[in-house]
Amino acid sequence: MAKVLTSRSENYAQWYNDLVIKADLAENSAVRGCMVIKPYGYAIWERMQAELDRMFKETGHVNAYFPLFIPKSFFSREAAHVKGFAKECAVVTHYRLTADEENGGLKVDPSAKLEEELVIRPTSETIIWNTYRNWIQSYRDLPILINQWANVVRWEMRTRLFLRTAEFLWQEGHTAHETRAEAVEETLKILGVYATFAEQFLALPVIKGIKSETEKFAGAEDTYCIEALMQDGKALQAGTSHFLGQNFAKAFDVMFASKEGKQEYVWATSWGVSTRLMGALVMAHSDDNGLVLPPKLAPQQVVIVPIYKTPEEYAATVERAHLIKSQLVKHGITVKVDDRDTHKPGWKFAEYELKGVPVRLAIGPRDLENGTVEVARRDTLTKETVPMESLEVYIPALMDQIQAEIYNKALRFRTENTHKAETWEEFLDLVEKGGFISAHWDGTPETEKAIQEETKATIRCIPLDSIDEPGICIKTGRPSNRRAIFARAY
């Protein structure tokens, strides 16, 4: 079969786009910058949602839903926030269409102009903190631990499927606390949830760290993040957790009576991951043949393909396939039997490789005779012949093994592509090679900007587990006491 994808080495960006489309994950829509998430892509996203939702609930959070619209004036309340988001907002100005007598079709009805324009939420801090004002009077009303699953819109000029789209799906947590310490603890707790999710489900090793002043969220005191490395050596921010201090409480006048009877501003966090994780998943593990999905997120974990020539062989292999399916399903494994007589086995093999189904079983007449099955792994593209009677033990164990090995492979890749730079020359050299660069930096936004302008590399984060270590800034030679992680990034 002809290769359906551009290879990674040829053009990584094109490979990614080809793959997202050919594997039926998503496609561009008729609306600029907005995507259609197709059923196969959405099924993976649903698995991510289910796991994250479970983890949020296990850590005491509940879901709620706030309006899509934010009154324009709310944005002006928090100075940094407005600066960050006003430039890329979809704005609703009218509430009616009417017949266009001159040109035919429809036009906006000028008599239906809103008194105050409404912004489609790019993030919901403002509308939520305006609501929390009514919910919080006393310390007894705290903490509030709310998450929302929602769509948001940021009018990005250059978009890419999943990675950067005008509309995207996400979850946004918004919590309210009595004390700074409690809010910081929440921020870090969620960062931990995100890192655990990335490592255990996406099979993606991440660096937990804190953003520089330049890179932090518009309105946050501190932004924590998880940063992952893609196969082309570029970094991808996979999730952020913000300590918002009292910024939004002050902007929306949210105070509470403390245990001591004083009126105090409430402390806040917010945190989110989005359908961008779909992009991370694709770019971290997949290959020139198609998707490689970790079993824990694969909509179909096993596909069974019967191999036959005669109608008798068809009947016998399909029967066996369904028997095996019924055995595996008992172990919580999702199995599809592809018994379509309209497609050849070779076509099916290529299709499931493209779709990243972790394990493919093939059963032919010889297998029936010998009591065996051919087991093919998608991640390694290796095959083995396994006795039929051991499948019930073999396959569930193989799922765990694949999940672990995909993670380990990504971890090895990251280790091999993380380097220390001690001089500006080394840094320039490493930037061209790609990967994470651990380097001293003098801590100023000016130097950060100079480095970015010259190399397109940004500070991904200052890792939480980094140690105090005196050194000199690679760019300015000024003293530094900690390394930051630099990379070109998505």
Enumerate binding residues for a second copy (CB under 8 A). 27, 29-31, 34-39, 42-43, 46, 62-76, 82, 86-98, 104-106, 108, 117-120, 127, 130-131, 134, 140, 146, 150-151, 153, 155, 167, 169, 342
The rounded distance, in Å, linking the Cα atoms of 471 and 237 is 26
Rank residues 62 and 404 by Cβ distance to a second copy and give the closer one: 62
Q: Which parts of 357-425 are beta strand (E)?
A: 359-363, 372-377, 383-387, 418-421
Rank residues 37 and 206 by Cβ distance to a second copy and give the closer one: 37
Q: Give the SS3 label for residue 239.
A: strand
Rank residues 342 and 382 by Cβ distance to a second copy and give the closer one: 342
Taking the complex as a whole, the smallest distance from the CB of residue 162 to a second copy amounts, in Å, to 12
Taking the complex as a whole, the smallest distance from the CB of residue 126 to a second copy amounts, in Å, to 10
The rounded distance, in Å, linking the Cα atoms of 168 and 171 is 10
List all residues 6 or more positions away from 262 whose beta carbon is below 8 Å from its beta carbon: none
Q: Give the SS3 label for residue 408.
A: helix
The rounded distance, in Å, linking the Cα atoms of 337 and 35 is 30
Residue 385, CB-side half-sphere exposure with 13 Å CA sphere: 8
The rounded distance, in Å, linking the Cα atoms of 119 and 86 is 9
* CA-closest candidate to residue 71, choices 125, 127, 1: 127
The rounded distance, in Å, linking the Cα atoms of 422 and 480 is 12
Taking the complex as a whole, the smallest distance from the CB of residue 191 to a second copy amounts, in Å, to 23
Taking the complex as a whole, the smallest distance from the CB of residue 188 to a second copy amounts, in Å, to 23
Taking the complex as a whole, the smallest distance from the CB of residue 244 to a second copy amounts, in Å, to 19
Q: Give the SS3 label for residue 454.
A: helix
Rank residues 74 and 486 by Cβ distance to a second copy and give the closer one: 74
Rank residues 2 and 30 by Cβ distance to a second copy and give the closer one: 30
Residue 176, CB-side half-sphere exposure with 13 Å CA sphere: 28
Rank residues 68 and 316 by Cβ distance to a second copy and give the closer one: 68
Neighbours of 233 (CB within 10 A): 18
Rank residues 33 and 434 by Cβ distance to a second copy and give the closer one: 33
| Relative orientation angle of helices 311-329 and 391-416, to the nearest 10 degrees | 70
Taking the complex as a whole, the smallest distance from the CB of residue 442 to a second copy amounts, in Å, to 32
Rank residues 65 and 347 by Cβ distance to a second copy and give the closer one: 65
Pairing of strands 62-63, 144-153: parallel
Which tokens hold the place of 297? 């997120």
Taking the complex as a whole, the smallest distance from the CB of residue 358 to a second copy amounts, in Å, to 20
280: left (phi over 0), alpha (psi -120 to 50) or beta: alpha
Rank residues 145 and 484 by Cβ distance to a second copy and give the closer one: 145
Q: Calculate the CA 286 to chain-centre distance.
A: 15
Rank residues 138 and 415 by Cβ distance to a second copy and give the closer one: 138
Rank residues 87 and 366 by Cβ distance to a second copy and give the closer one: 87
Which tokens hold the place of 204? 């993606």
CA dist list (Å): 36 to 153, 161, 216, 337:
14, 9, 30, 28
Taking the complex as a whole, the smallest distance from the CB of residue 30 to a second copy amounts, in Å, to 5
The rounded distance, in Å, linking the Cα atoms of 14 and 19 is 8
* CA-closest candidate to residue 385, choices 353, 401, 361: 361
CA dist list (Å): 137 to 50, 71, 183, 263:
33, 24, 18, 9
Rank residues 331 and 340 by Cβ distance to a second copy and give the closer one: 340
Taking the complex as a whole, the smallest distance from the CB of residue 476 to a second copy amounts, in Å, to 34
Taking the complex as a whole, the smallest distance from the CB of residue 335 to a second copy amounts, in Å, to 16
The rounded distance, in Å, linking the Cα atoms of 199 and 228 is 10
Taking the complex as a whole, the smallest distance from the CB of residue 107 to a second copy amounts, in Å, to 8
| Relative orientation angle of helices 445-455 and 424-433, to the nearest 10 degrees | 50
CB 174 within 8 A of CB 124: yes
Taking the complex as a whole, the smallest distance from the CB of residue 216 to a second copy amounts, in Å, to 21
